[in-house]
Amino acid sequence: MSNVNLGTIFERASKWNSVRYPRVYNHELSVNLLDEELNEYFEAESSVDQLDALCDLVFVSMGILWKTGIDIRLLDSTSDWSNTQATALLKANVFEPIHLVASVLIKYKYVNEEYPTALAVQTIITLCMVQMSGMGLNTEESLAALLIVCNSNDSKSIKKTEPHIKANGGDKGKDFVTPEPALLDLLIKMEKRHNGN
């Protein structure tokens, strides 16, 4: 696990998207996908479902970055910017990081011209990672959760999709492997670590 980082997740999300979409950014679909995952977080009835939604938010955000054709050097520079913005938001608010994701998403939806896509989605990624930390996961566990979701997504059927349509919408395929059991195992191990077992 030590050689896994967010760059690894970006590569996985990029590959997943590349076999399902042309590399075309669609603002409306991007907002809708993020909004769907955020709603899943708030409607979740268990910590497993919350963690799944957070990982999906990160995965979707990485896919959006890929669709914009972002240069990895720009990704590095906006990463610092998004971390600074996320830190300032967290220091100035009593809300949990996931509540700030909702604010970033609203700004991204309505102020797209003045709010760069790379900054918006990287801020969302940062806030989701902080929310995972708030759930008790360390960095390695958070990355492990993201890999579980990457593996689950890779088990979905592959069909090229138009840039404005959700890939695998309603049809994940017969070989789809749901991420929840592996995420539950991860959360159980996390609890044991916190309890000194």
CB 52 within 8 A of CB 181: no
Q: Where are the domains of the chain?
A: 6-194
Residues 6+ apart with CB under 8 A from 176: 152, 155, 156, 157
pLDDT at 168: 81
Both tokens assigned to 14: 């990029």
E strand or H helix that includes residue 43 = helix 27-43
pLDDT at 169: 78
Instruction: Using DSSP, state whether 11 is helix, strand or coil.
Output: helix
pLDDT at 89: 63
What is the rounded CA–CA span in Å between residue 178 and residue 155? 9
What does the pLDDT look like over 103-153, one tens digit per residue?
889 988 887 666 788 888 888 998 898 889 888 998 899 999 999 999 999
What is the rounded CA–CA span in Å between residue 123 and residue 111? 15
Residues of the chain falling short of pLDDT 50: none
